[in-house]
Amino acid sequence: MSQLAKLSQKGQITVPAEVRKRLQLKAGDTLAWEVLENGKISVHRVEESLDASYLTALNDVLSEWNSTEDDEAYRNL
């Protein structure tokens, strides 16, 4: 069943209760958003053992090589 949520002017969203329950979310938890190749979005809870600030920094650094041209250039390595 689809769960709907509205995006605020500040880009904020309330995670529906059923989704919070399924993901076992509590206040202060971190969610990771991943854009899949098929255009869909995957959202999951980041495990507490992971350092979220490290992952954010790593993502920011690696994103500079995240282009179609880079995929083409490094595809056969």
Q: pLDDT by residue (tens digit) across 34-71? A: 998 898 998 888 876 657 677 777 777 777 767 778 77
Global model pTM greater than 0.85: no
Indicate the average pLDDT of the chain: 83
Length of the chain: 77
Give, in order, the Cα–Cα distances in Å from 12 to each of 5, 6, 15. Answer: 10, 8, 10
Nearest residue to 43 via CA among 59, 7, 19? 19
Q: What is the mean pLDDT of residues 21-36?
A: 89
Structure tokens at 69: 């041209």
Protein fold of 17-74: Pemi-like Protein 1; Chain: D (2.10.260)
Q: With pLDDT > 70 as the criterion, what percentage of the chain qualifies?
A: 91
Confidence class of residue 16 from pLDDT cuts 50, 70 and 90? very high
Cα angle for residues 34, 40, 44 (degrees, 5° grid)? 40
